[in-house]
Each structure stands twice: as C-alpha cells, then as structure tokens.
Structure 1
Amino acid sequence: MYPVLGILLIAVMLSSCTSVKVASDYDKGADFATYKTFAFYKPGIDKAEINDIDKRRILRAIESELLAKGFTKSETPDLLVSMFTKSREQVNVYNNNGFGPYGYGWGWSPYYYGNYNTVTTSTEGVLYIDLIDANKKELVWQGVGTGYLSQNNTKKEERIQEFVTSIFELYPPGSEKK
C-alpha cells in the first residue's frame, strides 16, 4: 500500500510542476477593442534580469501570441509591451522514514538502511507581461505566469512558450477559459 501512495504523491508533484499558474489585472476603464498595434518597450525590457538568449525567446513568444490575436507590430503603436521576471530556488527535503533505497516499509529487511532523505532543488519562475497604453503612458493590463523552469536547454523554448501562451489566454479581459 505504501509504494502505491508514494507513486501517487510523486505523480501529483510532477504534474503540478508542469503547469503554469496565471493571473491578470487590468484597468477597467480601458477600451481594449481600440488596441490594434504594438511595439516593445525597450527601457522596461532592458531591466529584465535574465540572460539575453532567454529574453529573446520570451519576446519572440510574446510577438507570436500578439500577432495570433490580430495585432500588428508598428512604429506608432497603441500598446507598448514590457516584461520582467523573478525567480527563486526551491529546496525540498523528503524524509522517507523506513523507506530506504531498497526497503519497503517498517520491519526487517536485509536491504533496510534506516532513514533515507532525498533532497531536490527546482527553480520557480514568475513572468510578468505588461501592456501599456502608448498615448497615456499608463499600464492597462498585466499578465503573470508562475511555474517551474526547465534546466534542460532543449526544453527551455517550449517552457517559455507555455508560459507566454498561458498568460495571453487571459487577454483581452473577459476572454479567459471558463
């Protein structure tokens, strides 16, 4: 019974690591139907504390999502797009009392080693995407995605795309999946 419970717990933890939690906030007085064009807000993007490769990946993903929503990139935009990131290292210590590397619970086993601790680390990242009214220079929408980041370089681009796509599911306000 205990091994089944352990496998179930690991499956839940792994599935929760793959999802991106999203939220958004917006100016209720803004008319989002009037926004048709966009440009990136370089001063804001330059402040993002991530490497340039990942920054370009995020910007390409944002551009792709906005174009898919019918926006046009412009030198005289309706919206300015900015973004910033935060991250924190998570350290998890699991104390597997009685579940040694080869043991199966309490009792005697020739392979029982007593307490068996497992330490894992992961990085939780937060991506903020800001949409700023270009004429008023006011923030009109902010989307936030929180999730675990991939350390596997071959999966980074997919994970960034997943963050950005999940965030833009909330734009325009009122369009979120029910």
Structure 2
Amino acid sequence: MKKFIISFSVFLVAFLTISQIYAQVTSDYDKTVDFTKFKTITFLGWQDNSDQLINDLDKQRILDSFGKEFEMRNLTFVEQGGELAVTLYLVIDQKTSTTAYTNYTGGMGYGGRWGYGYGMGYGGGIGMGSATTSYSESDYQVGTFVVSVYDGESKKLIWQGISSKTINENPKKREKTIPKGVKKLMKKYPVQPPK
C-alpha cells in the first residue's frame, strides 16, 4: 500500500507538471474550401482588444511567428483586400493547482513467545502505522489563444485554431516558446509548408 501511495503521488505531480508545460491544440475548418488557392492574407487585428493583456514584446513575437508560418505556406501579407483575413484573440485565466502528498509511516511491532513443557506457549504482537496528508497550492496563468481565418470575399470563417497553455513567467523562455507554440498550432492548418 505504501508503494502504491508513493507511486500515485509521483504520477500525480508528474502529470500536473507535464500538463502545464505542453499546449493543448484543437482546430476546425471548412472541408469544402481549397486552401491552396489563396495567395494573399490581411491581418484584421486582435478581437476585443485582447492584445492589451500582453506586453508589446510578446505581441510582436506572436505576430512575427504567425507571419513566418503563413509565409511558409505561400501566403503574402497585404495591408488590405487579402484573399484571406486573419484575427487573433487571447484570454488569460488565473488557475490554482492543488497537490496532495501522503506520507505513510510503518509501525513498530512487538512479539514474543514463552512457554514450558512440550510446546505450550503464548505469542503476541502489536503493529501501528500512521499516514499524514498535506496539500500545497500554486497559482498559475493559462493563456488560450484563438486564430481565426476568414474568406476575404465572403467573410465566412473557414479555419480556426485554438491553443491553451500555461504561461511561462520567464521572458527569455517565452522568446522560444511562443514561436514553438505558434508552429504547433499551425500544424493544424490545412496547408503545410513545403519540405
């Protein structure tokens, strides 16, 4: 039982750590659209001024990363009138993670035997154990990022990608994780860059 409790505690901590590192990515698109026919794209801006939730450096990292990913798919950005139009949206939620740790202490025992004659005897034993559970809480922020692509002529939504991930507090790491996150999200786009 002790090994199970320790193993489960280690698994739970590992799962919570891993789930906060990797982005959860989903997407949906209009399967009747030929995405390869589009050659130009226009950036329509951030929905609901959600860019105000992040600093200018991270905002530029996001825009540069998406610009690079779309250009790798043979799309050229134009100021207006693009065959495609893209908007970005960001939500940041404050979360609290609770982790439980259980410490089991095995008991001490007493046993003895005494007797006389041919094997008559008495034996006894006492065993005791205790388990204590402690909890720790940590606050973290989860960013949900939505990129929406519209047909520039019909204004119809034709692709949407959503990524949710724990926000890294270290700016130097965000410099690397933002492009990686955008790249992972754009792997869901119907057109992939040439190899």
> Normalized against structure 2, the TM-score is what?
0.72
Larger radius of gyration: 2
Quote the residue 2:120 is aligned against.
none
Count of residue pairs the alignment pairs up: 166
* Alignment of 1:20 onto 2:23: yes
Q: Give the corresponding residue for 1:130.
A: 148
Instruction: Return 50-59 or 136-145, whichever deviates more.
Output: 50-59
Question: TM-score w.r.t. structure 1 length?
Answer: 0.79
For 2:168, give the aligned amino acid: S
Report the equivalent of 1:172.
190
Residue 75 (structure 2) aligns with: 71
Structure with greater strand percent: 2
The equivalences for 1:139-158 within 5 A come to 139-158=157-176
2:32 counterpart (14, 29, 32): 29
Question: Which sections of structure 1, spanning at least 5 residues, go unmatched?
Answer: 100-104
CA contact (8 A) 2:38 2:84 kept: yes
8 Å Cα contact 2:61-2:175 kept in structure 1: yes
- Where does the alignment leave 5 or more consecutive residues of structure 2 unmatched? 108-129
RMSD: 2.7
Contact 1:45 1:82 in 2 (8 A): no
Query: Does structure 2 retain, via aligned residues, the 8 Å contact 1:20–1:162?
Result: no
Q: CA deviation at 1:27?
A: 2.4
> Which residue is equivalent to 2:137?
119
* Secondary structure of residue in 1 paired with 2:105: coil
2:66 to 57, 62, 73: 62
Secondary structure at the residue paired with 1:67? helix
Q: Is the 8 A contact 1:49 1:85 kept in 2?
A: no
Matches for 1:99-110 after TM superposition, within 5 Å: 99=103, 105-107=104-106
